[in-house]
Chain A
Amino acid sequence: MMTTFLHKLMLTCEKASWFIEKNSQDRLTLWERMRLQTHLIVCRFCRLFNQQSRFIDKQLHHLINDPADLSSGPVLDDASKARLEKTVQQQLEIL
């Protein structure tokens, strides 16, 4: 009863999680922010979602952007290198 009432009055969890995502990249309007904040006060799950969503963004940023440690990690095998070398030489001859 209580939850359906709250959903009518405020945001559904679906919409709240949408606002959370939008809030992480863009600006919400004042009205949207107010609705989201009120929802977060009453909804434990969306509070968790909010926290975890920010955590995931941070991880992704780190994974994709932080200068990879180029001194270790996978290397090309010799066959691939020979192939690359050949392609480069061919192209050099054409030029």
Chain B
Amino acid sequence: MPEQKTCILSFRVFQYFVYSFLHMSKQRTTTSPCDPSTWVKNYADDLFRFAVTKVNDPALAEDLVQDSLLSALKALGQFKGESNEKTWLISILKNKIIDHYRNKARQREFPEHSLLYLQLDETETGNALFFDEQGSWRKDQRPLNWGGIDEEHPLDNPEFKKVLNHCLEKLPSNWLAVFKLKFMEAKESKEICKELSLSASNYWVIMHRAKLQLRACLEKKWFHSQQ
């Protein structure tokens, strides 16, 4: 039966191809292109820049990069060849930054801030700086017109970014941490409260107060800086 023979033969050939293909792809996954000895040379600058834009502090950024590289080394086994080495390292770095802010946000033993915390916790009248006894804006704190701001499109101005960062740094460090977490994690307020074991009312006090301060600072330093 020559027909049957060719059939078997072609099946064998097919099998051979399938096996060699499987073998090849297996080899490809086992020899992942992950080479830690080149990490610093290839990615240190990118990782550092990423960290600096998030934390706005070069020394801290460097520490975070080092921590991430060490964690990455320990987790080498989890690196899957299919994702890019750099993307993988950046995702580790991002988690390190979030961890950093989580720890910061949980710190409430700062003497000068804990007092604020208590005051704010009781009532919402820690805002005496901005509002009078009747709850109206104090004359010197009334929002001024910023003239033609576009709420939908962010200002892509490096000078403005500098001022914004400066104003952020003026917030108490644990408030800033809550603020950054909120924007980095894109989570609902309830989840963030749970994560930081923060009561809902405390969370809103922080957000409200931080926003009031930030707004006043931006107005003074950017929008009406000449006056």
A-side residues, CB < 8 A to B, are 3-4, 7, 12-15, 17-18, 21-22, 25-26, 45, 48-49, 51-56, 58-66, 68, 70, 73-76, 80-81, 84-85, 87-89, 91-92, 95
Q: How many A-B residue pairs have CB under 8 A?
A: 147
* Minimum Cβ distance to chain A for residue B94 (Å): 11
Among residues of A, the one whose C-beta sits closest to the C-beta of B53 is A68
Q: Choose one: B36, B40, B136, B183; the contact of A12 (CB below 8 Å).
A: B136
Determine whether B172 belongs to the interface, using a CB cutoff of 8 Å to chain A. Answer: no
CB pair A48–B143 under 8 Å, yes or no, is: yes
> Taking chain A's interface residues, is the majority helix, strand, or loop, or is none over half, making it mixed?
helix
Q: A65-B184, A95-B73 are in contact. Are A74 and B52 (CB under 8 A)?
A: yes
CB pair B151–A54 under 8 Å, yes or no, is: yes
Sample (24) of A-B pairs whose CB atoms are under 8 Å apart: A14-B130, A14-B135, A18-B124, A21-B204, A25-B188, A25-B189, A45-B142, A48-B144, A49-B215, A51-B149, A52-B146, A55-B149, A55-B150, A55-B151, A56-B211, A58-B152, A62-B154, A73-B52, A74-B49, A75-B48, A81-B40, A87-B70, A88-B69, A88-B73
Interface residues as binary, B136-157 with A (CB distance below 8 Å gives 1, 0 otherwise): 1100001111100111111100
CB pair B164–A60 under 8 Å, yes or no, is: yes
Chain B residues in 8 Å Cβ range of A7: 134-136
**Beyond the given A25-B182, A25-B189, could you list 13 further A-B residue pairs with CB under 8 A, ordered by the A residue number?**
A21-B211, A26-B188, A48-B145, A52-B146, A55-B146, A61-B154, A63-B165, A68-B54, A70-B45, A74-B52, A74-B58, A75-B45, A88-B39
Determine whether B218 belongs to the interface, using a CB cutoff of 8 Å to chain A. Answer: yes
Chain A residues in 8 Å Cβ range of B188: 25-26
Q: Choose one: B58, B69, B127; the contact of A84 (CB below 8 Å).
A: B69
- CA–CA, A60 and B186, complex, Å: 12
Determine whether B212 belongs to the interface, using a CB cutoff of 8 Å to chain A. Answer: yes
Q: Choose one: A52, A64, A74, A92; the contact of B215 (CB below 8 Å).
A: A52
